[in-house]
Amino acid sequence: MKPSRQRFQDFRRKVRQGLLQGDRLREPDPRSGESAGGAHHSVPSHDKHVFKFTKRRLLEEYRLMLRGYYGSVATLILVVVVSSLAALVSPFILKLLIDYVFHGKPLPVVWLLPHGGLRHWLTVSAVHGLAFLALALAAAEAISVAASWARLLAIQRLNYRLAATLRQRLHAHLATLPLGQLAEYRTGGIISRIMSDTDQVVGGVQNAIVNPTAAAFRIACILVILIATSWKLFLIAAALIPPVIVIHLLVFRRLRPLWRNIQDDRSMLSARVSDMFAGIRVVRGFRRERSEGREFGARQLTMVRKQYYTSVLGRLLMTGWSIFVPMIGIAIVWFGGQMVLAKKLTVGDLVMFETYALMLLGPITQMIDSMQNLQQNLGALDRVCDVLGQPPDMPDRTGAVALGPRKVRGDIELRDIRFGYRPEQIVLDRLNLRVPAGSTLAVVGPSGGGKTTLVNLIARFYDVSGGAILLDGVDIRDIRLQDYRRLFAMVLQDVYLFDGTVRDNIAFGRRHATAEGIQEAAKKAYAHEFIMAMEKGYDTPIGERGAKLSGGEKQRIAIARAILADPHILVLDEATSSLDTQSERLIQRSLEELMHNRTTIAIAHRLSTIMKAHLIVVLVDGRIQERGTHEELLSRRGMYHAMFTQQAQRRRAPALDLMEWEKAVK
């Protein structure tokens, strides 16, 4: 791994050479097949990253997101306008104080009032005028406080709801993406997209709509007042503003790609963390804690450097401001002071002008800040849209048939199928197989031969690239996927238990199962006893990934899950591989009962599971080398025979591994 400093230098070189230029926006290039490329990087690589979507497209996305929230946005803008107006009152009151009250003149507002009480009261004494203005100021402040409070609440309410909706959409969409694609995002990438990117995205509503509207409104009001007070003085003050904006634009045009780059780093880091803790026992077992920690630290350091670099770049702009702001004030005092001396401007006007001119900087910086922040928001939205734009896995063909489970017989046929996870690597080649309804197919073969792949295809986790799989004579691609999958229950090679109770995990395939049903299934899977031995029985929480259970216990829970699901088609991929011979023999009876009259595809290394199958195939390197019943295969004296005699000699029915197979095959 490169040291952090070097990686940071690379980053700066790219920034300087414009290699990170994400600002030349473009539509996605259809040829660059996003998902096909590099299987290695977990998170989309940031090198030379280009925004996938145009800015306009992303802003349009915001509009779509806000559909249904127009009322909230309108309220928000109204509140913002009111609070802006309230904030503008005080300099004007100051002017009235200086030019009227202190000079003993009646306030100009007097002429707006009807004759009588208040009007009379105001003109009697200057102190009354002062009191009136103080009250007006207090009212303005009260409105301002109330409005900014309402603004905060309204924004948060909107943001939380938008974020939740967006998260839901992402969650739902990610669940439909092809497995290959998901493997490329990896867990960390997915988590950061669902959790932090969505928060970033909704922040954009404020930065794209609310803040600019508020700022623009305030700027407009102030400009009107300034020009009305003295347009000459205004021209002098205004001359100093353009240079600041120019400096700013130059700097921050380069910031967006940098922020995106940092975002990528962040998700890469969180992917690493989740990876490390998922495999913490391997890490400890190989004493890699320290080196993992060092690497984490180094990558973090690179990120910190980048973050710092980027904020320095951003802050340069602010420095520009801090130089120009006093200059504006000084210019106003100098030129405006001369005008006051020449009696062309009142003292109150000068004071008011100076205050408003400086108040102008607030909304201008706010506008620039929101634009700058919006770049980050757009970066996050770009990533989110990238995910949402990925086509879902195997959308149903038009005219895909619905499948009532009652009508299914469960006859599976593989007709000349070919498949590879990647086009250039064929895993299964021209496979023909038929599993008549209610019968059991056993698949055996050396590791890597394609057994799990076969199961993946039959369960339609992937689609075949040639040939077809038929259920009761219908191409499974012509059946609605949801209906098709409903027919299955599987005990997969890598058992996965969710972070919930034992009960939840058994009932995963049948959500409305009764407590008795769950117990019944667990008993058949010989899981009841060890479950009852746990402190809370069926309500014992399983740690993440079932870390608190042994391999065999996990497998028995998975088997109970399948038994409870009572499926049309049963898939067992090494379902009993982690069990000792004794428990296996016990479960075998339940499994046989389960398999009875049910289409079953069982992958097994152990003979006991295989012997009674109606058909056994030996799958080697994606091809069927032998097929037949146990007796037929034995009498053929081929590979199956070799495997059988080896296992029979051992009398322990051990799991065969690749080495043993190769020995057996030769």
Ligand X SMILES: Nc1ncnc2c1ncn2[C@@H]1O[C@H](COP(=O)(O)OP(=O)(O)OP(=O)(O)O)[C@@H](O)[C@H]1O
Contacts with ligand X, residue ranges (CB under 6 A): 421, 427, 445, 447-453, 493
The torsion angles phi and psi of 185, rounded to 5 degrees, stand at -70, -35
Q: Cβ of residue 492: shortest distance to Mg ion, in angstroms?
A: 9
Structure tokens at 72: 């909230």
Helix (H, G, I), strand (E, B) or coil at 429: strand
Rg over CA atoms, the chain:
36
End-to-end CA distance of the chain: 43
Over the window 457 to 496, marking each residue x when it contacts Mg ion by CB under 5 A and - when it does not, the resulting string is ------------------------------------x---
Q: Cβ of residue 660: shortest distance to ligand X, in angstroms?
A: 12
Closer to ligand X at the Cβ: 379 or 450?
450
Q: Which amino acid is at 656?
A: L
Closer to ligand X at the Cβ: 182 or 569?
182
Give the helix/strand (H/E) hosting 515.
Answer: helix 515-524
Q: Cβ of residue 574: shortest distance to Mg ion, in angstroms?
A: 6
Out of Mg ion, ligand X, none, what residue 447 binds, judged by CB under 5 to 8 A for its kind, is ligand X
Contact (CB, 8 A) for 478 and 400: yes
Q: Cβ of residue 84: shortest distance to ligand X, in angstroms?
A: 57
Give the helix/strand (H/E) hosting 570.
Answer: strand 569-573
Q: Cβ of residue 40: shortest distance to Mg ion, in angstroms?
A: 23
Q: Count residues near Mg ion (CB under 5 A).
A: 2
Q: How far apart are CA 252 and CA 272, in angstroms?
A: 31
Closer to ligand X at the Cβ: 425 or 582?
425
**Number of separate helices (H) and strands (E) present in the chain:** 26, 10
If one asks whether residue 452 binds Mg ion (CB under 5 A), the answer comes out as: yes
Closer to ligand X at the Cβ: 46 or 451?
451
Output the residue with the shortest Cβ distance to Mg ion. Answer: 452
Closer to ligand X at the Cβ: 390 or 452?
452
Closer to Mg ion at the Cβ: 144 or 452?
452
Closer to ligand X at the Cβ: 288 or 627?
627
Q: How far apart are CA 386 and CA 364, in angstroms?
A: 32
Out of ligand X, Mg ion, none, what residue 148 binds, judged by CB under 5 to 8 A for its kind, is none
The torsion angles phi and psi of 545, rounded to 5 degrees, stand at 60, 20
Three-state SS string over 605-631 comes to CCHHHHCCCCEEEEEECCEEEEEECHH
Nearest to 599 by CA among 436, 452, 463: 436
Per-residue burial over 610-619, b if 16 or more Cβ lie within 10 Å, else e, is beebebbbbb
Q: Interface with Mg ion by CB under 5 A: which range of 302-310, 448-456, 523-531, 583-591?
A: 448-456
Structure tokens at 437: 């309804």
Out of Mg ion, ligand X, none, what residue 448 binds, judged by CB under 5 to 8 A for its kind, is ligand X
Q: Cβ of residue 571: shortest distance to ligand X, in angstroms?
A: 12
Q: Cβ of residue 419: shortest distance to ligand X, in angstroms?
A: 9
> In angstroms, how far is CA 485 from the centroid of its own chain?
26
Question: Burial, 357: exposed, middle or buried (Cβ in 10 Å; 0-12, 13-18, 19+)?
Answer: buried
Contact (CB, 8 A) for 352 and 95: yes
Q: Cβ of residue 285: shortest distance to ligand X, in angstroms?
A: 21
Out of Mg ion, ligand X, none, what residue 291 binds, judged by CB under 5 to 8 A for its kind, is none
The interface with Mg ion within residues 179-198 (CB under 5 A) comprises none
The torsion angles phi and psi of 406, rounded to 5 degrees, stand at -65, -35
Q: Cβ of residue 573: shortest distance to Mg ion, in angstroms?
A: 6
Q: Cβ of residue 452: shortest distance to Mg ion, in angstroms?
A: 3
Closer to ligand X at the Cβ: 35 or 90?
35
Closer to Mg ion at the Cβ: 75 or 493?
493
Out of Mg ion, ligand X, none, what residue 427 binds, judged by CB under 5 to 8 A for its kind, is ligand X
Q: Cβ of residue 421: shortest distance to ligand X, in angstroms?
A: 3
Out of ligand X, Mg ion, none, what residue 489 binds, judged by CB under 5 to 8 A for its kind, is none
Closer to ligand X at the Cβ: 390 or 453?
453
The total number of residues shown for the chain amounts to: 666
The interface with Mg ion within residues 493-512 (CB under 5 A) comprises 493
Question: Burial, 125: exposed, middle or buried (Cβ in 10 Å; 0-12, 13-18, 19+)?
Answer: exposed
Closer to Mg ion at the Cβ: 244 or 454?
454
Contact (CB, 8 A) for 618 and 590: no
Q: List residues near Mg ion by CB under 5 A.
A: 452, 493
